[in-house]
Structure 1
Amino acid sequence: MHGTTHLAAHSVRPIRVLLLLTSLHGGGAERVAVHLLNRLDPERFDVRMGLLRAAGPYIDLVEDKSRLIVAPDGDKHFNFDGTNKAQYTTGNIVGAAARAPLAFRRMIRESEADVVMSFLKGTNLLVWLALKGLGKKRPKWIAREGNNVLAVVGEEAPSAFIRKASLGLTSRAYRAADAVLANSTDMASGLVEDLGLEAAKMRMINNPIDIERIAAMRDEGVPAAPKRPFIICAGRLEYQKAHEVLLRAYAKSGVWRTHALVILGKGSKLNELHRLAAQLGIGEYVRFIGFVANPYAWMAKADLMVLPSRWEGFPTAAAEALASGTPLLMTDCKFGARDVMEPGVSGEMVPVDDVDALANAISSLIADPARRKSLRDGGLERVRNFAIDAMVEKYADLFAEFEPVQA
């Protein structure tokens, strides 16, 4: 444990905090939860994590697994991993509505939590249902959102009716929360406007970045790396991340003549992206690596990190690239891009879905090593804003807002 804040003199026990997620698959939200579980000061906070399934690559990062509360038969009933659209099958909707809130309610009662924080829209909706009817035993609830809700709903909902219903339910749920936490500045204002939330309930904390851990891992060897220079992209192979835009820009840039393209991540678009790369005549220069335990070593050896996302919440992979010492090129997407870096100083930006602009920026940066070095230096300075200890301390302050009155 790495906390530094001391127990307030008037408290007789730590504040009980319960972090709720479906699993530890995924990315930024799950990493934030694990950081909080491992690092919040145990003198001030008794932190537990509730999961519907004990699954995902971040399970191994949990230092004290006795702090995990896992739903029984989770693999049977709560396999929600996969694309957002896949969650709208009748079986998933009925199963989630019937079982998941009850599972979360049992976790809340078992932990006797003072404060519950749930992560991402789907889990937030389930926890909203779980908290109904608890009366005076209801803990304070923080709904943490880490993505662009309008974009997510627009992409995942199979019809206009379901889109409207999903947004309506999300708005009702978030209005019922004691606080709504966003992880970027423009997301916080966007949630207030898009969901009709009270500005007084909004909080904002950027995702923490473990700069020291990344620095220790970025110099490790990467035996599977291409034998020639390469540019890199890291993210789930889904529509949100716009890998097809990157492939078209990479082909148009001509950079394939000197640099390979490495893509880290798994997802449902893998076969489609393989076919597109072949159609564009760049298949032999593109490497789809999948999930890797140490992406920072890959990033550190790349000449450029490219993140072509259509939307984000707080693009953690971009901040991790800065910490890895990798020059960054990304889209000016909603949300979080401008929290992560300052255009022209710690990275470069292009418009969303603009193949020509992305191609021109890639070729221009690869042709200018001095410019890349300047961005690298600016990025290493910028990422200090997200140092993990400072971010965890902000979470400690947030949870302390809801400290119960103790005799």
Structure 2
Amino acid sequence: MSLKFLINSLEGGGAEAALVRLLPFLNVEKVFLLEKGVKFEVSKEEIFILSEHTIKTNSLYKTLFIPVYSWRLASQLKNKDTVISFLERANFVNIVSNLFKKHKTVISVRMNQLEGHRGFGVVNKFLVRILYPKADTVVAVSQGVKNSLIKLGVPEEKIKIIYNPYPIHLIQNLSEEPVEGIFEGAPFIITVGRLTKPKGQWYLLRIFRELKKKFPELKLLLLGDGELKDYLVKLSENLGLRTYLWDRDKLSGDFDVYFLGFKKNPFKYISRSKLFVFPSLWEGFPNALVEAMACGIPVVSADCRSGPREILSPDTDFNYQTKEPEFAEYGVLMPPFDVEFKKANKPLEKRERIWVEVLGKLLQDEELRKKYSKKALERARDFDVENIVKDWEKLLREV
């Protein structure tokens, strides 16, 4: 059996990180990319790019291009190869390419299928209903993702749950690397994730402005890039926050909010933060949350679908969503937000004020932060890459 990986690109992101982390442990012959873009350290000999598209290419055009991607992928495969794909479009291509070349199709599904498809995503949900049941094996990254797939018609017997892998020792080593002097010893909270709608960073900006009234020295760091960059920067500035943008400003300690862009080593920043704050509107299984826990940082997360509850409160009902702050076993779960873009002059809603109150409590209570720091690291070890690889090896033997 020859094993191949398939993904949209390696521009950066949770699915991309998971793929790269599995490479040294599984005997992968080739990594196929639907479009150009590699920000991870991967051998060029391992990469085969199926188009000239980039992250900026129109999404609708790339969806319509799925048959062409599929034909090109099939031309590079042999019968009985096994292709593991990551992310929606790559999963569609993996399944459609099976029409041209018979191979084993394993798709990794990383998003809650009921919560995550919005707007143009209606087309994706339709394709999920039509195509996903045709895959040989469907790997869900959480119980919540599995449940959503079953509701869309994917046979339960085809679905396996394998959590995302994390190199815990490597993360800890990287977390000790030096940071810019202005962040060494400065009080700050942090979030990491692409600047996109699912991550809900605009809520955090509004919450942070209110926190500044009580903690005037506090700073906010946002790591990541994405299509909402301009909106988020403008919102931050309209909130009266002194805002640093990585490709515009000279770095100094004079700012309140720091948009630092994509960082190959986010862990050195996370490890020096007071809190990791995660306002996501929906998830599959949030990499950044576990990575922050591996750095020994207390986490505060929206109890969104799906993943945060499985990570922070694994002995509770994963279908439940809290309406009040929940000081769970491994971190704090908070009422999730709606998908509603906010303007700077709109008053804080009740949920935002609850977040302000809880973050303020944690910033003041060092003992509580120490408790959650210890528990976070304890839980993160459950997702160490060496444990997760065993699940993948077992699945590939079965395939």
Same fold per TM (> 0.5)? yes
Amino acid at match of 1:144: S
Q: Partner of 1:202 in structure 2?
A: 159
Q: Partner of 1:119 in structure 2?
A: 86
What are the residue-to-residue correspondences of 1:158-307 with 2, within 5 Å? 163=122, 165-193=123-151, 195-223=152-180, 225-226=182-183, 228-253=186-211, 254-283=213-242, 284-307=255-278
Q: How far apart are residue 98 of structure 1 and its match? A: 4.7
> In structure 2, do the counterparts of structure 1 residues 395 and 344 end up closer, same or farther at CA, with 3 Å as the change threshold?
same
Is residue 2:107 matched to residue 1:143?
yes
Q: How far apart are residue 206 of structure 1 and its match? A: 0.6
Q: Partner of 2:59 in structure 1?
A: 87
Amino acid at match of 1:150: L
* Greater alpha carbon shift after TM alignment, 274-283 vs 205-214: 274-283
Amino acid at match of 1:181: V
Where does the alignment leave 5 or more consecutive residues of structure 2 unmatched? 243-254, 314-326, 338-350
Give me the TM-score of the superposition, normalised by structure 2. 0.85
Matched-pair contact (CA < 8 Å) for 1:50–1:107: no
Matched-pair contact (CA < 8 Å) for 2:22–2:165: no
Q: Matched residues in 2 for 1:132 and 1:225: separation? A: 56
Amino acid at match of 1:395: W
Q: How far apart are residue 46 of structure 1 and its match? A: 5.0
Matched-pair contact (CA < 8 Å) for 1:52–1:103: no
Amino acid at match of 2:174: M
> In structure 2, do the counterparts of structure 1 residues 37 and 150 end up closer, same or farther at CA, with 3 Å as the change threshold?
same
> In structure 2, do the counterparts of structure 1 residues 103 and 199 end up closer, same or farther at CA, with 3 Å as the change threshold?
same
Where does the alignment leave 5 or more consecutive residues of structure 1 unmatched? 1-14, 158-162, 403-407
Q: Partner of 1:35 in structure 2?
A: 21
Give me the TM-score of the superposition, normalised by structure 1. 0.83
Q: Matched residues in 2 for 1:52 and 1:139: separation? A: 18
Amino acid at match of 2:221: V
Matched residue SS, 1:330: strand
Amino acid at match of 1:240: P
Matched residue SS, 2:282: coil
Is residue 2:56 matched to residue 1:99?
no
Amino acid at match of 1:222: V
CA root-mean-square deviation: 1.9
Q: How far apart are residue 277 of structure 1 and its match? A: 1.5
The runs of at least 4 aligned residues of structure 1 exceeding 6 Å deviation read none
Q: How far apart are residue 233 of structure 1 and its match? A: 0.6
Q: Matched residues in 2 for 1:28 and 1:217: separation? A: 17
Matched-pair contact (CA < 8 Å) for 2:67–2:96: no
* Greater alpha carbon shift after TM alignment, 202-211 vs 273-282: 273-282
Matched-pair contact (CA < 8 Å) for 2:63–2:89: no
Amino acid at match of 1:25: E
* Greater alpha carbon shift after TM alignment, 368-377 vs 266-275: 266-275
Matched residue SS, 2:231: helix
User: Over residues 315-337 of structure 1, what are the superposed CA-to-partner deviations in whole Å (9 max), with x where a residue is unaligned?
Assistant: 00000000111110110011111
Q: Percent identity of the aligned residues?
A: 28
More helix by share: 1
Matched-pair contact (CA < 8 Å) for 1:365–1:372: yes
Is residue 2:376 matched to residue 1:379?
yes
Matched-pair contact (CA < 8 Å) for 1:247–1:277: yes
Q: Matched residues in 2 for 1:46 and 1:155: separation? A: 35
Q: Partner of 2:38 in structure 1?
A: 56
Amino acid at match of 2:69: A
Amino acid at match of 1:280: L
Q: Partner of 1:391 in structure 2?
A: 388
> In structure 2, do the counterparts of structure 1 residues 308 and 108 end up closer, same or farther at CA, with 3 Å as the change threshold?
same
Amino acid at match of 1:33: L
Q: Matched residues in 2 for 1:356 and 1:166: separation? A: 35
Matched residue SS, 1:152: coil
Q: Partner of 1:160 in structure 2?
A: none
Q: Partner of 1:8 in structure 2?
A: none
